[in-house]
Amino acid sequence: MKAKESIYLSKSLFIRGLQCRKSLYLHKFHPELRDEVSEAQEAMFQSGREVGTYARRPFPGGIEVPYEDLSLEEQLNLTGEKIKRGARILYEPAFSYDNVFVKTDILRKARQGWELYEVKGSTGQKEVYLDDIAVQYYVLKGAGIRISKASVVYLNKQYVRNGDIDPSALFVIEDVTQTVDRQRFVADEIADMRKALGKRVPDIDIGKHCTHPYDCDFYGHCWQHIPEYSIFNLDGRGRVKPFDLYRQGIVDLRDAPKEILSKKQNIQLESFLQKNEYVNKVALKQFLDSLWYPLYFLDFETFSCAIPAFSGTRPYQNIPHQYSLHYLKRKGARLGHREFLAEPNIDPREELAGNLVSEIPDNACVLAYHASFEIGVLKDLAASYPRYRKKLQRIVENVRDLEVPFRKKAVYHWKMNGSSSQKYVLPALVPQLSYEGMEIGNGGMAVQAYFRMCESQDQSEIEAIRKALLDYCKLDTLGMVRILERLREMG
């Protein structure tokens, strides 16, 4: 029993254990089974660090207890020493109690005791943050620190940058003191986690907890028995509860019970069983008749930052830095192409908006894939640049969504595997056009490449990235052209 009680835990291990005891166990004893950290996740961690730095500004003059180069013991000693010497604000102070180690983002001395601030890079409050603070509360209280107030600090999604960042307006500070003093709950969970860690790998099957509250990084390991075409790929939900089916032993798509499937799901199942494509000619014609010439195919690439990078932008606002535009001036005309890619490290929006409105005629039908995204970007541009507003609004009115026939199941190919996204539709309908072998193969990679281009000082590297970005975005709109051609053949 003693040995189990002494198993070391930290704040992040506690949160992991709350989500799934198996994840906690695997993290401790089989870290080699974890999924690889993607470049996009790395960027998210980096963004979290940036948010943390800005969040300190309303609490100036604090003393930092750094992670780097200090052992846990040294961090604890340094924290104790600073408090003893009368420090009033600490960044990342370390505490331990009951062999649970925590670092607190910001700790401020007030008249009644210490105020604890947990900084998050999101734009709203979440249930899991309360657990995060509850374990800190438990440890700090146990370590003899009197907490008078506990708060979550997160980004204000209404904040619009105007010149320099105003940290007091950028963040929302929400007092959660009343909900985080849960000593019994935390102590019981810790005891149970240690019990789980002292045995064999917990017998926990996959479930909704694999993606809630966080995407688990053992997903690849635990889900490897699920085939590529499974009940988890059924389009929409309706009466189908995939985990209920799974628990009844139904996993493969071909075993899905037809009688409980929706109409769209039955189309998906039938197409899969027959390995063919389904076409509802009436619905498809309706869609094709809604298009006209001149016909423009538009795709934006954007990036977003937790801390607004430019005046007039909000946290996580999509900033367009690139577009590709294929066009057909009339039926049977030669396919034309225009494109734009901003120079690195500038606010790209005004130049991009100016180019775009000069290239798309007012009377053009503008086709986008998953058009709500393009419409959102166009509306933001219209709000920011009054001189282009009318033309941008006209473009918005003329946008049509190429995803519609797939979302409505007017057309379905079995290889789409329940998805209407272009990444599934294109290879299913136009297999000769592929992202395979391209230096940039998806939107996430494109964003990271753009950031790399912004950081690079090497002209040849910048040129190589530019070319890869242009090739990628061009393929997106060329893909739309080819998908529309296939739809017309089917219609």
For residues 64 and 215, which CB has a smaller minimum distance to ligand SF4 in the complex? Answer: 215
186 is an interface residue for ligand SF4 by CB under 6 A: no
For residues 90 and 231, which CB has a smaller minimum distance to ligand SF4 in the complex? Answer: 231
71-110 burial, b for 16+ CB within 10 Å, e for fewer? Answer: eeeebbebbeebbeeebebbbbbbbbebebbbbbbbbbee
Query: Binding residue for ligand SF4 (CB under 6 A) from 210, 253, 426, 480?
Result: 210
Rounded CA-CA distance 164/144 in Å is 40
The number of residues that bind ligand SF4 (CB under 6 A) is 12
Report in angstroms how near the CB of residue 232 gets to ligand SF4 at its nearest: 13
398-427 burial, b for 16+ CB within 10 Å, e for fewer? Answer: bbebbbbbbebbbbbbbbbbbbbebebbbb
Helix 349-359 × helix 386-397 angle, to 10°: 50
For residues 30 and 390, which CB has a smaller minimum distance to ligand SF4 in the complex? Answer: 30
Rounded CA-CA distance 414/427 in Å is 11
Side-chain-side CA neighbours of 295 within 13 Å: the count stands at 24
For residues 116 and 206, which CB has a smaller minimum distance to ligand SF4 in the complex? Answer: 206
Report in angstroms how near the CB of residue 68 gets to ligand SF4 at its nearest: 29
Asked whether the beta carbons of 277 and 411 are under 8 A apart, the reply is yes
Report in angstroms how near the CB of residue 244 gets to ligand SF4 at its nearest: 17
For residues 67 and 223, which CB has a smaller minimum distance to ligand SF4 in the complex? Answer: 223
Which residues in the 382-411 window bind ligand SF4 by CB under 6 A? none
> Cis peptide before 213, with omega less than 30 degrees from 0?
yes
Query: Binding residue for ligand SF4 (CB under 6 A) from 219, 232, 278, 451?
Result: 219
Query: Binding residue for ligand SF4 (CB under 6 A) from 204, 251, 288, 399?
Result: 204
206 is an interface residue for ligand SF4 by CB under 6 A: yes
Which residues in the 6-65 window bind ligand SF4 by CB under 6 A? 20, 22-23, 26
For residues 65 and 222, which CB has a smaller minimum distance to ligand SF4 in the complex? Answer: 222
For residues 66 and 220, which CB has a smaller minimum distance to ligand SF4 in the complex? Answer: 220
What's 64's DSSP letter?
A: E
Sequence letter at residue 301: E
- Sites of contact with ligand SF4 (CB under 6 A): 20, 22-23, 26, 204, 206, 209-210, 216, 218-219, 222
